Each structure stands twice: as structure tokens, then as C-alpha cells.
Amino acid sequence: MVLVQNYALAVFLCAIAMICWGSWQNTRNIIGLQWRFELFYWDYSIGILLFALLMAFTFGSFGNQGRSFLPDIAQADPMNILSSAFGGFIWNIGTLLLVASISIAGMSVAFPIGGGLGWVLGIFINYLGKPEGNPALLFTGTGVIILAILISMQSYRKLADQQKKPSFKGIALAFMAGLCIAFFYRFVASSLATDFSPADDGKISSYTAVVFFSVGAMISTAIINPFFMAKPVEGEPVKMSQWYGGSARTHLLGMLGGAIWCIGNSVSFMSVGAASPAISYGLSNAAPVVAALWGIFVWKEFRGAPKGTNLLLTLMFVFYIIGLILIVYSRFT
């Protein structure tokens, strides 16, 4: 299997994760709002699981380091497998809420609020689980991120006031999403082997963890998504017959969105050993910056916004970048 043992490489992979986690939702926008997010989510979940298996049987099985995928499963402690699957289960609840928020509030609002809240809380949770890195720099960076989230909320309020449309539902869904997303990483990170020594027996590789994470996410989709379909946050109820009637292009784009997200998930957990859970999570989850860039410059979600909104958005990006730099540097002191 392919292992990451260098901090610089780990930071690079976390940057890849950040881009992937901030970009997957573009596939939903390409499909169009006529294809409801509840239907999109079935394909998205399938794409995550398929790509996790592809990674496990390629990068997770080639080479002489660590353990390949199938032997890793054979020696695994069932509690570690369950921990990874539970991480996927609760992450999926948060992401369903986040996609619902995107459908109401847009990418440049839902991601900075929901993703940002999950980012901040997750850094605290993962640091408590494995305290590595300079806490002053790590949490100062986290505090700067909080400022960016508050500024993002203010920019959305200005836009919503001008367009005279309610914003409470979109913001509320984003907050609930952030609370769920904050906890998933710790469940998966706690199951991971770091050096595959005898002391790590029963722990699992990042590739195995991502597979069972994806299984947990798929189970969560099968249980929860039907409720979203029957009681949608916006619009009329949808039926599975509508999903079966979707075009091949629509289904493939949904699965591509899941595959893009899973690339980020895979490389982020590959980096845990060389960085630390808190730093790896903190860097990877800078995805709100990427998502906001897509939302503002590609999808033009703030076109026609009132005076002063551009200044707020600029400040949001500045604070996110400062926070990100502080988190990266915290590992060196």
C-alpha cells in the first residue's frame, strides 16, 4: 500500500482534499436545480463507495509497505471497522443537511457556514483526541476562521435583504450540517494504524477505513434520504421512480461528484500519520474557501449584491487564508 510519511507531502495532499471537498458540489450545479438534491444524493453516495473500493484495490493493495486491503480487513478489530462506518453514517447526515442548505441558500453561503462550523469544531475535537502541534497557533487560526464565518453570514444577510427572500431555513440547515460534520473525522482517525507495528494490530489502514466509512454513508443514505424525499425542505415530495427516470448523464455526474469527494477523503486520511488528525482535518476542511470561490466567480451567486458586499467577501477570504497559514505553521513549532 502507499503510505504518506512526509509532512510536506501530507500538506500537499490536504490541499488536494481541500480542493476536492470544495468542488464536488459543482456536479450538482451542472445537472441543474430541476434534478432535486434528494435524487442527486443517491448517485453521489454510490460514487463515494465505488471510488473507495477502487482506491482500496489499487493504492491500498500495491507495494510492500503496511498491509494490503484484504489482509487488513482480516486482522481488523471489529470496533475499528464500526468506528469508521459510524463516522461515515454521521458525516452523511451532515452532508445531506448541507446539500439541502445549498439548494436553498447557495454554495457561497452554505459552505462557509456549515462547512466552516464543522471545520472549527472538528479541529477542537480532533486535537483533544490527539494533541499534536502548537495549540496557540492552531486555535488562533481557528479563531480567525470563526471571524470569516461571521463575515460570510453578514454578506448573505445583505444579499437576502435585497432579494427579499427568507434566509433562516438555509442558515439553520447549514448550522445543523456543521454540527454533524464536526464529529465524523475523529471516529475514523481513531481507527487508523499509524506505523503498522505490533502495537497497531487491530487498527486499519486509511484505505480500509475509507471503504467502511463509505459503507456507513451508504447505509445512512438508505435510511435518511427517503425521509428527505417524503418531507422535503423545499418543493414537492419526490419518488424513487423519478430517480430511475434520470438520464445516464445525470446519474454519471452525480457519481462523479461522489468520486471527487472520495478522492479528498482518501488523501486526507492518508495524511493523518504524517501530520496529525487536528492538522490534517484543519487543512482539508478549508473547503469552504474553494466552494465560496466557485459560488462567487463561476456561479455568480452574489451578482447584483448591495454595496459593501464585495468588501465583506474579500475580508472573509483574507481571514480564511490567515487561519489556514496558522494551522499549517502550528506543526513546525
Average pLDDT, the chain: 88
Task: Report yes or no on 218 lying in a domain.
Answer: yes
Q: What is the pLDDT of residues 28-48, one digit of tens each?
A: 889 987 899 899 999 999 999
Q: What is the pLDDT of residues 241-267, one digit of tens each?
A: 999 999 999 999 999 999 999 999 999
For Cα atoms 62, 195, 206, give the angle at the middle one, nearest 5 degrees.
Answer: 55
Is the predicted pLDDT of residue 111 greater than 80, yes or no? no
pLDDT at 106: 67
Total number of domains in the chain: 1
Task: Report yes or no on 276 lying in a domain.
Answer: yes
Length of the chain: 333
Q: Are 294 and 107 in contact (CB under 8 A)?
A: yes
Quickly state the pLDDT bin for 164 (edges 50, 70, 90).
Answer: very low
Beta partners for residue 204, in sequence order: 192
| Cell matching residue 185 | 473525522
Task: Report yes or no on 2 lying in a domain.
Answer: no
Task: Report yes or no on 5 lying in a domain.
Answer: no
Task: Report yes or no on 8 lying in a domain.
Answer: no
Phi, psi of 192 (to 5 degrees): -85, 140
Task: Report yes or no on 1 lying in a domain.
Answer: no
Domain that holds residue 112: 16-332
333 or 38, higher pLDDT: 38
Task: Report yes or no on 4 lying in a domain.
Answer: no
Torsion angle in degrees (nearest 10) through CA of 231, 234, 236, 238? -60
> Cα separation of 117 and 238, whole Å?
30
Q: Please name which of 188, 208, 190, 178 lies closest in space to residue 61, comparing C-alpha atoms.
A: 208
Q: What's the whole-number mean pLDDT along residues 86-100?
A: 91
Task: Report yes or no on 9 lying in a domain.
Answer: no
pLDDT at 95: 87
> Cα separation of 200 and 202, whole Å?
6
pTM assigned to the model? 0.89
Phi, psi of 58 (to 5 degrees): -115, -90
